[in-house]
Structure 1
Amino acid sequence: MYEVTYAADGTHSSSPVELFVHFANSVLLIVFLLVGGVAFASNSQSRATLYPIPAEVSSSHFRVRIDGQSTDVLHAASGYYLLNFNTDRPVTVSVTASDPHYWDAGVEIQPMRFGLRPVRHGATITFPMSADSKLMITRPGDHFADGDILFLFANPPDHSGITSKTPGVRYYGPGVHRENIDAHSGDTIYLAGGAVVFGSLNIWRVHDVHVLGNGVIIYDGPQNPHDDEGWMHKTNWHVVVMDNAHNIEIDLYYTQPELADTNA
């Protein structure tokens, strides 16, 4: 969870539990600890719950298999790929690249402190993954704008009970949504697993807002990617914009690409 309090003078304090930040070639990808979503695709014999990936952002660049369930990944921006799933116990993960020689130069799984060393068979690498963990998978040297990064997030099961019929919740279900989300004071905004919002999240002069779920927000707004306009502070100008906001909770994944190609 990432909690932020903004004061009227623009100062703020934050207390991230865990945060991955990767910045390259004007592409900002920030990944927060995620909470679980509503299960839309499950297997009673499996330990994991996967979520549907809308065709607009689905990619077969990587094919991931988790305890017998196989899925494409979400192409978030540039060379960034993502897969969310829920599990309450360790799982076995296999990642198959579309290029049979993709892993010829090796593979790195971070955080390095986990000491994960995958087993490779051609285009496929296999490794264990613990519950409630976040991994970043790359080839050696793939840490710049032209590199590929696969993020895998094993989230704990969702016990919130939030559905589309939950009173007082702004609910975004699986599928693509094209809109800017303007938060109001007291809002609870929930992006279910499989939901992808193209737009901005504006938390502008409000208080007591909670943004939850396994969904994704991808910036799609008026910024000119060919000019330096990112310094401007106004609504719809970044993936998440805050101004004079108090008691804000965001447990979500979002990305702000510039000239990002989201095709497979």
Structure 2
Amino acid sequence: MKKRKLNIRLLQIGFILTVLILTGTQAFSKDKLITYPAPEGAILTKDFTVKVRQAGQEWHELAGYRVKVDEVRETKHNESIATMSYFDFFGTVEVAVTFNNGTVESGRVRPLSYEIEPKIDGNTLTFQLDRPRNLSVEVNGDIFHNLHLFANPIEDYIPNPTDTNTIYFGPGIHQFENRKLYVPSGKTVYIAGGAILMGQVLIENAQDVKVLGRGMIDHRIKMGVSIANSKNVLVEGIFCTQCATGGSDSVTIRNVKSISYYGWGDGMNVFASNNVLFDHVFCRNSDDCTTVYATRKGFTGGCNNITMQNSTLWADVAHPIMIGIHGNSDDPDTIQNLKYLNIDILDQKEMQVDYQGCMTINAGDNNVVKDVLFEDIRVEDFREGQLLNLRIFNNQKYCTAPGLGIENITFRNIEYNGDNANLSIISGYNEERKVKDITFENLRINGRLISDDMPGKPAWYKTSDLARFFVGEHVENVRFVDTEKNDSEAKCTSE
């Protein structure tokens, strides 16, 4: 009993100190920086020395955790060792990344849309950050032994570890029975910075559950977080391999980082769920980064109101975004009201033509997929694949029927810069199973705006030819619109 009271007292003291660290500095400076030492026994790499500081103050060295990524060479999958580091800040910080394995010939920080240009001095890259970012730091073009640097916002809530509704994991490595932690309703799991869980976090048939923190689930644990048949769930701030949602409602996944390296390593699946929000997530995966499916894996029904925003996707295999293949052929499902907003796609690498497409809707199993918006999507030069793929098909490996329809899909402010894109495909199945009402607003490919009235387009060309899109049979009403031009003309008319 005395030992238990002592442990509780130590937890209370640690909690108070943490709050003082988080709030006390705010009284003296608006800028804040929090770093977390690696726990004893953590698996680290020595490829990089990573330091961070507030301007003019002392440097703080970050732990470099080992993670694995999937490198496909020809048709073979190979595990490569990469690095992951993280910290929290508010204001402005300077970052220094020293490469320890040779000479730095070049360096870059991605997503490229952030326009972070590192300065190179010898073997060290330096740059500034003025807001939270999830980044890839790459030396000499090496994307398989890179640094994944997660610069988090300051936590706005840390639960009291002695609260009976809190399951608290402080800094250190934590084991639990059968490598499975089942979270009951009404509980908050807190994984502190510097904590590593050696098992899955499972939220099943529960409601009002939170999983928070800055720590991680070990990179070797498949399906680090699973949400099944649950309601009102928040997962925020942690690192894991995968985070799947099935048969659930009102789920928010925020600032979760997912990196996987094994077969079928999908990052953030959604099955037969409604009202799911992904915000500021980072997915680098050995299969699809994010999917929306209907009936599948014991979950039944369609999907409604799924949003992913302000996020970064990197598919070492398969699709960054995949929608629609799985459903119930006997009792058809509808997948509807999906939004993908303000997203950077860093890569796709897929040799199989059936599984290409950075933005893919493949309707199978008598599914109807409708009312989908892709807006403000920036696609970097991926290694192999297609920019988009919209098809109704009967993939006999996974489906028992073709899809029923793909309808009302809008691509707005899509930018692709690169040379490796294969021919994109838009294709229906038959006269009863069509792709229809597809609108491209302000599509830019290598800086060129593609529209039906673009200058220099031969009258006998389809606009899709200039985008390198194949628009096949059983497709209706595909439009390419330049709203920037229309807005400019409307302004001139009003003046």
TM range, smaller chain: 0.5 to 0.7
* Structure 1 residue 108, shift from structure 2 partner: 2.1
* Structure 1 residue 203, shift from structure 2 partner: 1.5
Aligned mates of 1:197, 1:84 — CA distance in 2: 16
* Structure 1 residue 254, shift from structure 2 partner: 0.6
Aligned mates of 2:21, 2:100 — CA distance in 1: 24
Aligned mates of 1:141, 1:123 — CA distance in 2: 14
Is 2:35 the partner of 1:75?
no
Aligned mates of 2:20, 2:134 — CA distance in 1: 21
Q: Which protein has the larger Cα radius of gyration, Structure 1 or Structure 2?
A: 2
Deviations 1:111-136 (A, max 9, x none): 11111111112221111112322211
How many residues are paired up?
202
Aligned mates of 1:135, 1:57 — CA distance in 2: 21
Aligned counterpart in structure 2 of residue 88 of structure 1, from 84, 87, 90: 90
Q: Which residue of 1 aligns with 2:226?
A: 241
Shift of the 176–200 alpha-carbon distance from structure 1 to 2, 3 Å rule, reads same
RMSD: 2.8
Deviations 1:36-67 (A, max 9, x none): xx58999x798421001124223322111111
Aligned counterpart in structure 1 of residue 34 of structure 2, from 31, 49, 72: 49
* Structure 1 residue 91, shift from structure 2 partner: 0.5
Matches within 5 A, 1:213-252: 213-218=213-218, 220=220, 238-251=223-236, 252=238
TM-score (norm 1): 0.67
Q: Which residue of 2 aligns with 1:4?
A: none
Q: Which has the higher helix share?
A: 2
Q: Which residue of 1 aligns with 2:366?
A: none
Q: Which residue of 1 aligns with 2:156?
A: 159
Shift of the 210–162 alpha-carbon distance from structure 1 to 2, 3 Å rule, reads same
Is 2:52 the partner of 1:66?
yes
Deviations 1:170-222 (A, max 9, x none): 0000011123221111111000000011111112222221100001012556x
Bigger CA drift: 161-170 or 80-89? 161-170
Shift of the 202–61 alpha-carbon distance from structure 1 to 2, 3 Å rule, reads same
Bigger CA drift: 80-89 or 169-178? 80-89
| Identity of matched residues, % | 26
Partner SS, residue 60 of structure 1: coil
Shift of the 39–83 alpha-carbon distance from structure 1 to 2, 3 Å rule, reads farther
Counterpart contact for 1:218–1:257, Cα < 8 Å: no
Q: Which residue of 2 aligns with 1:150?
A: 147
Is 2:190 the partner of 1:176?
no
Aligned mates of 1:124, 1:117 — CA distance in 2: 13
* Structure 1 residue 165, shift from structure 2 partner: 2.6
Partner SS, residue 57 of structure 1: coil
Aligned mates of 2:19, 2:38 — CA distance in 1: 13
Q: Which residue of 1 aligns with 2:100?
A: 98
Shift of the 219–137 alpha-carbon distance from structure 1 to 2, 3 Å rule, reads closer
Q: Which amino acid aligns with 2:66?
A: H
Shift of the 155–70 alpha-carbon distance from structure 1 to 2, 3 Å rule, reads same
Aligned mates of 2:128, 2:197 — CA distance in 1: 31
TM-score (norm 2): 0.38
Q: Which has the higher contact order (CA 8 A, sep 6+)?
A: 1
Unpaired stretches in structure 1, ≥5 consecutive residues: 1-37, 222-236, 260-264
Q: Which amino acid aligns with 2:154?
A: P
Aligned mates of 1:39, 1:59 — CA distance in 2: 31
